[in-house]
Amino acid sequence: MNIEKYIKTSAEIPLNKKTIIHLMLVNNMIKEIIGEGLKSFDVSMQQYNVLRILRGQKGNPANLSTINERMISKMSNTSRLVDKLIAKKLVCRAICESNRRKVEIVITEEGLASLEKMDNVINKAEHTITSKLNTKELETLNILLNKF
């Protein structure tokens, strides 16, 4: 992608600035593709992330703090995300019996079934996003991104 052409400028952009703009554009493209895939499930990317975190608990409950620590986007309002998933019957919340101040969140069977369908769509989206790169290029890209 020619960044100058894409943002319609004739000015030469310094390499570090061009790199940041490029990363931002790619990030936006990824969000659009994945967001479009999740649209039919009426679930946001952040809600999808919460469901994946809860599935990873393998039936054990998680609290809001645990979910928030594992979120890809730390800017998310985890409590609001969980409330929306509860309304959709994809997760449930209960008070911990041994500590009444602790709230436990688990994914429901309906949530697991929906998440499996979402995974199929997301896997296709991820393949679309990465299809222009071979395995070696993906490995190199990950090495470079780890430097950030």
In a domain, 18, yes or no: yes
Does residue 34 belong to any structural domain of this protein? yes
Any domain includes 103: yes
Core vs surface per residue 15-40: b (16+ CB within 10 A) or e: eeeeeebeeeeeeeeeeeebeebbee
Q: Tens digit of pLDDT for each residue in 78-122?
A: 989 999 999 999 999 988 677 777 789 999 999 999 999 999 999
What is the DSSP-derived secondary structure letter of residue 41? T
Domain count, the chain: 1
Nearest residue to 85 (alpha-carbon basis) of 66, 67, 99: 67
Q: Please provide residue 93's backbone torsions phi and psi, each rounded to the nearest 5 degrees.
A: -125, 140
Q: Is residue 51 part of a domain?
A: yes
Please give the structure tokens belonging to residue 142. Answer: 């990950």
Please check whether residue 62 lies inside any domain of the structure: yes
Say how many residues make up the chain.
148
Query: Does 29 reside within a domain?
Result: yes
Q: What is the mean pLDDT of residues 23-34?
A: 94
Element (H, E) at 28: helix 15-39
Establish if 137 belongs to a structural domain. Answer: no
What confidence score (pLDDT) does residue 118 get?
A: 97
Confidence (pLDDT) at 112: 97
Q: Is residue 136 part of a domain?
A: no
Residue 60 domain boundaries: 3-131
Other C-beta atoms within 10 Å of 70: how many?
17
Per-residue pLDDT band at 23 (split at 50, 70, 90) = very high
Q: CATH no. for residue 116?
A: 1.10.10.10
pLDDT for 86 equals 96
pLDDT per position as a tens digit, 36-78: 999 999 999 999 999 999 999 998 999 988 999 999 887 768 9
